[in-house]
Structures are given as C-alpha cells and as structure tokens.
Amino acid sequence: MAEERSQSAPPAGPGGPRPPRPAGVSGPGGRKFFRRKKVCKFCVEKIDAIPYRDVRLLQGFVAESGKIVPRRLTGVCTTHQRRVTRAIKQARNIALLPFAQRH
C-alpha cells in the first residue's frame, strides 16, 4: 500500500491550469459585471445628416483635451462616426470648435 498515490491535480504553477471561475463573477471582489451594448444614438433617432454648425452636439464627441472620442467609447456606429469626425473637422476649420484645449 505504500505504492498507492492519491490522484490529485498537479500544482498550479506558471502557465499551469487554473481552477474555473463561476459564471458572472469577475475580479477578486466577486462582483458581477455586466456591460450593456452601446447603441448608436444617430441610428436610433434616424439622423442622417450631422450638421457641423451644431456645436453643442459635436462637443459631446470631443474630449477636454481636444481629441475626437473613439467609437468604442461613444457607442456610435462606423458610418456615423465618420460623419461626426468630418463635421468636427469642418467646425474646427471655421473656428466653431477649438483644435486643442486651453491652458
């Protein structure tokens, strides 16, 4: 009986197997994390033309540093993001929006 060994999992080392996490749990705190899919507000409201003169609308897509906010953060679809970018650039060229932040 000295030759019998218990069948246990090998020790988890670097690159070794990890125990599976329960579904819906992320991170060490065990809090559930659910990210809602962002929906394009222009598609929902059926807005085709994005006017470059509407500064209040365009300011929502420009960060405080003056950079255009990317699609993954705003939730705008690809075609509308291109139109928003073009409208922001037009508004910058006629001095409705600043190119960079003020110091």
Ordered by start, the domain boundaries in the chain are 41-93
pLDDT digits (tens, 9 = 90+) for 67-100: 999 999 999 999 999 999 999 999 999 999 999 8
CATH 3.40.920.10 fits 41-93, yes or no: no
Buried b (16+ CB within 10 A) or exposed e, 27-39: eeeeeeeeeeeee
Cβ atoms of 84 and 51 within 8 Å: the answer is no
> What sign results for the dihedral spanned by CA atoms 71, 74, 77, 83?
negative
Strand partners, 68: 62
Q: What is the pTM for the complete model shown?
A: 0.64
